[in-house]
């Protein structure tokens, strides 16, 4: 993923809740524990000669795989291969297996491996990687031709791909191949190249499912273009990279499905950065919970977080554009020091049969500064401040003071549920609120949006009492209108010369 991850990071930076927290407070509501140590399975995945690898069996495994995208934290992108460290790979894949992963996606770079003939030293490194993955019960998805624009050399590309893939033609540990990462169907040279590559690779490894991905910004329309361009050489499945608004992830997933039906899709990359100024660990956890839950509803069986690890300074090759983007270093489920972010627990729950709930939304305002998924609206008219001296329960609440308003509405903080929204659903929201010298309008509201982010209307609670009041429960009950694809819960305060506190939020359907 290139531009879309950076654009997603910029978007996230405009959405974070402004908070103030006393000095010395921990950096998360619950201090993340170190990653659990992986335990190798007693019986490893059987290798060639023991299991027959058919295209059907591989495709079935691919579209249900619990896939993690992977580079080592100290050697991203092509550096993984040029500075290959088997011990580091072993430790990382143990961590992935402990999360519940059963598959790992790895990208093979022609520039690193040697082109048009891969060097034996590098094909041996790939063999070691597959063996290490197998020792933890992980199959492998291979992605070829990233950082690649040599479309005039289809013959050389074909020879290189055949040489890399030949050892795995009948090896069930390798379950699929993505021929090009984030393919551009609007590039005529790229389309002509892949039209030659697909049949040649199919002839060489006929039982291997083949796919292409598109970047997250291009999405479903680009997937439809690929399908249309490749009617003579169709793909076996499609790889959807999603870095959009997680509140509408179900709608976006269904657009992707519709674009390539009846071929299946996987979500081959998804995530959000936690880089300072771009995103938060709390938002990352909520983002992934929403995407996994939407995929469950859409019956997409494989969701692959980008990526296992954050990257340390200098880990991304300096000759690449991504090395210059701070957001690219912080998409991991684990920090560069190996400790888990809250998102790791979300992924573990999704992969091990757990329930994805609104517990990731910080509904009691107990998370620390910068680590909450709550986001501001019209913050220039008044920002919510996280306080520790007033709370309905627990230790924290969100306070507005001296707020204004505009023709666009009241300043607020907002969140969205983990469960996706469908028209006709009944939704309930509540929050406890109290006031001191309250004026203006102070309430909670459910705001509805369609799949294109068009506002469809809102349902509001009663107002917080004017003047000074004790804790009172505000409630909203509403039905999602026709066309609704997402809902936001807003805690609002406008034209308020006093202060209002919100705490203990509930959002359910």
**Average pLDDT of the residues of the chain:** 92
Residue 3 lies in a domain: no
43-54 confidence digits (pLDDT tens): 334 444 457 899
Same domain, 290 and 397: no
The answer to whether 94 and 136 have CB atoms below 8 angstroms apart is: yes
The pLDDT confidence band at residue 23, using thresholds 50, 70 and 90, is very low
Cα–Cα distance, 117 to 129 (Å, whole number): 20
- Which tokens sit at 54? 């058919």
The pLDDT confidence band at residue 10, using thresholds 50, 70 and 90, is very low
Say whether pLDDT at 203 is over 80.
Answer: yes
Range of the domain at 458: 375-508
SS (HEC) of 20-58: CCCCCCCCCCCCCCECCCCCCCCCCCCCECCECCCHHHH
pLDDT of residue 35: 44
Burial class (CB in 10 A: 0-12, 13-18, 19+), 320: middle
Q: State the average pLDDT over residues 64-76.
A: 99
CA dist 195 to 231, 233, 235, Å? 10, 7, 11
The answer to whether 187 and 222 have CB atoms below 8 angstroms apart is: no
Residue 395 lies in a domain: yes
Cα–Cα distance, 20 to 491 (Å, whole number): 17
Domain CATH number, residue 205: 3.20.20.80
181-195 confidence digits (pLDDT tens): 999 999 999 999 999
What's the distance, CA 47 to chain centroid? 31
Higher pLDDT, 497 or 216: 497
Residue 19 lies in a domain: no
The pLDDT confidence band at residue 1, using thresholds 50, 70 and 90, is low
Q: Which residues are registered as beta bridge partners of 241?
A: 269
Residue 22 lies in a domain: no
Same domain, 306 and 391: no
Residue 1 lies in a domain: no
Q: Determine how β-strand 375-377 pairs with β-strand 139-144.
A: unpaired
The pLDDT confidence band at residue 279, using thresholds 50, 70 and 90, is confident
Residue 197 lies in a domain: yes
- Which tokens sit at 335? 């920090």
- 3-class DSSP assignment, residue 5: helix
229-248 confidence digits (pLDDT tens): 999 999 999 999 999 999 99
Q: State the average pLDDT over residues 151-161.
A: 98
- 3-class DSSP assignment, residue 148: coil
Say whether pLDDT at 325 is over 90.
Answer: yes
- Name the pTM for this structure: 0.91
- 3-class DSSP assignment, residue 468: strand
Q: Of 287, 320, 352, which closes a domain? A: 352
Of 341, 218, 321, the closest CA to residue 275 belongs to: 341
Percentage above 70 pLDDT, the chain? 90
Q: Of 337, 352, 367, which closes a domain? A: 352
Q: Determine how β-strand 139-144 pairs with β-strand 103-108.
A: parallel
Q: Which residues are registered as beta bridge partners of 266?
A: 239
Q: Of 288, 318, 352, which closes a domain? A: 352
Same domain, 319 and 394: no
Cα–Cα distance, 168 to 108 (Å, whole number): 14
pLDDT of residue 278: 81
Same domain, 72 and 151: yes
The pLDDT confidence band at residue 371, using thresholds 50, 70 and 90, is confident
Cα–Cα distance, 331 to 343 (Å, whole number): 10
Same domain, 336 and 402: no
Same domain, 344 and 383: no
The pLDDT confidence band at residue 5, using thresholds 50, 70 and 90, is low
Residue 71 lies in a domain: yes
Same domain, 202 and 319: yes
Same domain, 189 and 325: yes
Say whether pLDDT at 424 is over 90.
Answer: yes
pLDDT of residue 51: 72
Cα–Cα distance, 192 to 194 (Å, whole number): 6
Same domain, 209 and 263: yes
Residue 18 lies in a domain: no
Same domain, 381 and 344: no
> Does the CA dihedral 200-204-209-212 come out positive or negative?
negative
The answer to whether 25 and 264 have CB atoms below 8 angstroms apart is: no
- Which tokens sit at 266? 């996987």
Domain CATH number, residue 398: 2.60.120.260
Domain count, the chain: 2
Instruction: Please list, in sequence order, all residues whose beta carbon lies within 8 angstroms of the beta carbon of residue 74, skipping any fewer than 6 positions away.
Output: 83, 85, 88, 311, 312, 315, 336
Percentage above 90 pLDDT, the chain? 87
Instruction: Please list, in sequence order, all residues whose beta carbon lies within 8 angstroms of the beta carbon of residue 247, skipping any fewer than 6 positions away.
Output: 290, 416, 449, 486, 487, 488
Cα–Cα distance, 350 to 114 (Å, whole number): 38
Beta strands of 255-359 (E only): which ranges? 265-270, 303-305
């Amino acid at each position: 993923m290139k531009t879309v991850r950076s654009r997603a990071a910029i978007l996230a930076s405009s959405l974070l809740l402004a908070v103030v927290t006393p000095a010395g407070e921990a950096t998360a509501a619950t201090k993340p524990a170190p990653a659990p140590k992986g335990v190798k399975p007693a019986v490893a995945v059987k290798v060639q000669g023991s299991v027959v690898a058919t295209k059907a069996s591989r495709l079935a495994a691919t579209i249900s795989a619990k896939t993690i995208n992977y580079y080592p934290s100290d050697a991203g992108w092509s550096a993984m291969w040029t500075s290959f460290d088997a011990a580091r790979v072993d430790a990382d894949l143990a961590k992935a297996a402990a999360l519940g992963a059963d598959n790992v996606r790895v990208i093979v770079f022609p520039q690193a491996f040697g082109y048009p003939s891969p060097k034996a030293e590098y094909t041996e490194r790939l063999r070691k990687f597959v063996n290490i993955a197998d020792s933890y019960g992980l199959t492998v998805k291979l992605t070829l031709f990233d950082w690649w624009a040599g479309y005039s050399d289809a013959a050389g590309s074909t020879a290189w791909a055949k040489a890399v893939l030949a050892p795995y033609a009948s090896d069930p540990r390798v379950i699929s191949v993505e021929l090009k990462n984030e393919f551009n169907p609007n590039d005529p040279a790229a389309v002509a190249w892949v039209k030659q590559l697909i049949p040649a690779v199919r002839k060489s490894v006929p039982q291997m499912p083949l796919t292409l991905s598109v970047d997250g910004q291009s999405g479903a329309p680009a997937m439809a273009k690929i399908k249309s361009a490749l009617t003579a050489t169709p793909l076996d499945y499609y790889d959807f990279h999603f870095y959009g608004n997680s509140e509408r992830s179900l709608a976006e997933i269904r657009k992707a499905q519709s674009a390539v039906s009846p071929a299946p899709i996987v979500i081959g990359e998804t995530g959000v950065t936690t880089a300072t100024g771009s995103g938060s660990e709390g938002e990352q956890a909520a983002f992934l919970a929403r995407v996994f839950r939407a995929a469950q509803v859409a019956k997409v069986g494989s969701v692959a977080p980008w990526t296992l690890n954050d990257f340390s300074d200098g880990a991304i090759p300096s000759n690449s554009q991504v090395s210059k983007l701070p957001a690219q270093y912080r998409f991991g489920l684990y920090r560069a020091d190996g400790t888990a972010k809250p998102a790791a627990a979300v992924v573990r729950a999704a992969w091990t049969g757990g329930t994805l709930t609104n517990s990731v939304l910080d509904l009691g305002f107990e998370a620390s500064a910068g680590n909450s998924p709550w986001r501001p609206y019209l913050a220039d008219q008044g920002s919510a401040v996280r306080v520790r001296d007033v709370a309905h329960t627990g230790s924290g609440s969100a306070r507005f003071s001296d707020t204004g308003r505009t023709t666009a509405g009241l300043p607020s903080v907002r969140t969205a549920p983990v469960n996706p929204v469908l028209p006709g659903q009944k939704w309930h929201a509540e929050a406890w609120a109290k006031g001191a010298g309250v004026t203006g309008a102070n309430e909670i509201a459910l705001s509805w949006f369609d799949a294109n982010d068009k506002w469809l209307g809102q349902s509001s609670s009663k107002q917080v009492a004017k003047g000074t009041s004790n804790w009172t429960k505000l409630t909203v009950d509403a039905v999602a209108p026709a066309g609704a694809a997402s809902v936001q819960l807003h805690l609002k305060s406008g034209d308020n010369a006093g202060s209002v506190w919100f705490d203990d939020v509930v959002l359910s359907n």
